[in-house]
């Protein structure tokens, strides 16, 4: 009986530690866009959104409520201690009618998610 109880406890510890690793928290942040932006080919209108980076799938998801607006492959980067920003856009001058592309999103402290374009995904072998 004692051996059985020891095995159950060991199994519980092993299973519990695996569950804790699998249930890592995604990084989330509420962000407000003041102008329309494009994320992975999807137009995101100005407004407030929930931005979430899932380390397991390496995807950045932009959602409003329970509705997913856009998803894009991304990677995390750590900024130097002097850098802090909400998001970074890439685009032409102000007179351009084309929406700017979202390239980076600041998530937590000095952690940012860099959105990967098709060339980056192919070069780095990101799924």
Tell me the per-residue pLDDT of 19-49, one tens digit each, with 9 for 90 and over: 444 445 788 999 999 889 999 889 999 999 9
- The per-residue pLDDT for 4 is 73
Would the pTM of this model clear 0.75, i.e. be above it?
no
Assigned token pair, 116: 């990967």
- The per-residue pLDDT for 96 is 64
CA distance 62 to 10: 40
Contacts of 32 (CB under 8 A, 6+ apart): 47, 48, 49
The better pLDDT of the pair 46, 97 is held by: 46
Contacts of 38 (CB under 8 A, 6+ apart): 44, 99, 100, 101, 102
Please give the average per-residue pLDDT across 98-111, as a whole number: 84
- The per-residue pLDDT for 82 is 62
- The per-residue pLDDT for 64 is 94
């Amino acid at each position: 009986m004692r051996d059985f109880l020891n095995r159950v406890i060991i199994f519980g510890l092993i299973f519990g530690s695996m569950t804790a690793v699998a249930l890592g928290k995604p990084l989330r942040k509420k962000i407000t866009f003041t102008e329309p932006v494009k994320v992975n080919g999807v137009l995101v209108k100005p407004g407030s959104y929930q931005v979430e980076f899932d380390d397991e799938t390496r995807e950045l998801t932009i959602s409003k409520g329970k509705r997913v607006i856009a998803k894009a492959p991304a990677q995390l980067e750590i900024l130097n201690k002097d850098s802090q920003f909400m998001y970074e856009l890439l685009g032409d001058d102000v007179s351009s009618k084309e929406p700017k592309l979202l390239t980076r999103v600041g998530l937590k402290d000095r952690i940012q998610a860099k959105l990967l374009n098709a060339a980056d995904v192919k070069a780095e072998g990101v799924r």
